[in-house]
Amino acid sequence: MMRRPKSLDSVAASIQPLEASTAGNTDNRQPSKEVLELWRSADAVCFDVDSTVCVDEGIDELAEFCGAGKAVAEWTARAMGGSVPFEEALSARLSLFKPSLAQVQDFLDKRPPRISPGIEELVKKLMARNTDVYLISGGFRQMINPVASILGIPQENIFANQLLFGSSGEFLGFDANEPTSRSGGKATAVQQIRKVKGYKALVMIGDGATDLE
């Protein structure tokens, strides 16, 4: 399979350590030839956001800002490991601190996105090669829009969740109609993208169970 990447409808690949690497070498970040070929043949690359494009888990940072960091982080670890349905973990985490619109806006003002090293350069190179770039996240659009702006990714290339607020800015919940609000949702988003765009080779990059799906 890895020798014929162009024949695949979609490919999931991870960075492999060099064969020459030793057990004591922790700098195993050099991609294999097969992985490099997958990058070169990709029509589109989809990135997870939290702990991938950004160094932080957005919901954990927002919860910490609102005073509920530890309890929410424990739920995040369970969600990333796939031990509970994503929609259950998302609802449980939000119910622990119920952020208001004012709190979210204050958070965004005081805590700008921390982009992972090298991501801006990578996205620029992909776009220069006419490779389309998407953000597919279980996080929230309110927090991902600034990230997309930094990277020059258009709004229509974002698949993420939406926090809902009342007329006074009180927390109401999240939009359950967004595909990424539930387990299997990122796969659904990728399928929607491929159906519309007709990509032959699409790469998904992420760090959690929902990305593996």
Residue 211 falls in the annotated catalytic set = no
> Annotated catalytic residue: which of 9, 43, 48, 60?
48
- In the block, tokens 């998904």 appear at 204
Listed residue (108, 115, 126, 193) closest to 159, CA to CA: 193
Q: Are 90 and 185 in contact (CB under 8 A)?
A: no
Distance CA(143)–CA(99), nearest Å, equals: 13
Maximum Cα–Cα distance across the chain: 60
> Annotated catalytic residue: which of 9, 27, 43, 50?
50
Residue 48 falls in the annotated catalytic set = yes
φ, ψ of residue 139 to 5 degrees: the values are -80, -165
φ, ψ of residue 172 to 5 degrees: the values are -115, -25
Q: Are 175 and 164 in contact (CB under 8 A)?
A: yes
> Could you give the residue numbers annotated as active site?
48, 50
